[in-house]
């Protein structure tokens, strides 16, 4: 179904998710009950915030969640900076929904390996929540998640429920100095070699910067992944 765009989104609530990262729950203006937008997990919203240059924010909510959720990091980008400071009741414009997202229906029966860095956890969470709502369709679900420091991890309240649902979660930080951290350090790609040998027929779902995606793709291909078993959301 083609969505009518642009739409006005109203901020329903704002939550501090991690250092300089806030989660915004939003609803299309006039929506009753659920948000009613059609999107694929991992797709990205192009938002007009005030008069700033429009910017991309991946949906962090699964399509079947009641509200739309976006993760916003405070960066130098003017739209991110302005949205980061917005409060309940304020409005933004959804100009379009972009990227192909992750078509999980085509991956039934396979092990899912999510690989995400930074705010790439937003599209990861969208697809993971969708996959967990139909977990019998998939094999093992692995989440590899990298951030700068322990304070930069989002969804710390939710990760326990991911593990309780059988998800193998591995986290890595790239700047350990000054933190108590007994886990691994480095970039998220370094975790791949620890989990991949134990999987059968896996597909990788990669969420990150262009550089991270290129490096992860190379690493996966060196480890024997076929190009079509490496998916990105945009």
Ligand X SMILES: Cc1cc2nc3c(=O)[nH]c(=O)nc-3n(C[C@H](O)[C@H](O)[C@H](O)COP(=O)(O)OP(=O)(O)OC[C@H]3O[C@@H](n4cnc5c(N)ncnc54)[C@H](O)[C@@H]3O)c2cc1C
For ligand X, give the closer residue by CB, 188 or 220.
Answer: 188
Min CB(166)–ligand X separation in Å: 26
Q: How far apart are CA 18 and CA 90, in angstroms?
A: 22
Q: How far apart are CA 109 and CA 97, in angstroms?
A: 28
Q: How far apart are CA 56 and CA 233, in angstroms?
A: 12
Contacting residues for 66 by C-beta, under 8 A, at least 6 apart: 33, 34, 35
For ligand X, give the closer residue by CB, 203 or 207.
Answer: 207
Interface residue list for ligand X (CB under 6 A) = 44, 56-58, 71-73, 75, 80, 117-120, 122, 146-148, 174, 187-189, 211-212, 215, 234
111 CA to centre of own chain: 18
For ligand X, give the closer residue by CB, 110 or 208.
Answer: 208
For ligand X, give the closer residue by CB, 49 or 147.
Answer: 147
Min CB(189)–ligand X separation in Å: 6
Min CB(82)–ligand X separation in Å: 12
Closest residue to ligand X using C-beta atoms: 118
Contacting residues for 12 by C-beta, under 8 A, at least 6 apart: 25, 26, 27, 67, 88
Min CB(130)–ligand X separation in Å: 16
């Amino acid at each position: 179904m083609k969505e009518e765009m642009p739409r006005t989104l109203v901020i329903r609530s704002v939550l501090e998710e991690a250092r300089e990262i806030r989660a915004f729950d939003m609803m299309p203006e006039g929506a009753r009950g659920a948000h009613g937008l059609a999107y694929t997990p991992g797709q990205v919203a192009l938002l007009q915030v005030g008069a700033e240059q429009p910017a991309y924010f991946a949906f962090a909510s699964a399509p079947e969640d009641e509200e739309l959720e976006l993760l916003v990091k405070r960066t130098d980008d003017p739209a991110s900076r302005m949205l980061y400071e917005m409060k309940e009741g304020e409005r933004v414009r959804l100009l379009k929904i972009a990227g192909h997202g992750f078509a999980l229906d085509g991956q039934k029966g396979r092990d899912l390996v999510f690989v995400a860095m930074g705010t790439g956890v937003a599209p990861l969470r969208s697809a993971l929540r969708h996959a967990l709502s139909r977990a019998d369709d998939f094999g093992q679900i692995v989440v590899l998640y990298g951030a700068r420091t322990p304070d930069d991890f989002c969804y710390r309240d939710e990760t326990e429920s991911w593990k309780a649902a059988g998800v193998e979660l591995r986290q890595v930080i790239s700047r350990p100095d000054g933190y108590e951290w007994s886990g691994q350090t480095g970039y998220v790609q370094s975790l791949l070699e620890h989990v991949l040998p134990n999987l059968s027929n896996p597909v990788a779902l990669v969420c990150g910067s262009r550089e991270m995606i290129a490096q992860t793709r190379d690493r996966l291909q060196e480890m024997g992944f076929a190009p079509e078993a490496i998916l990105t959301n945009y």
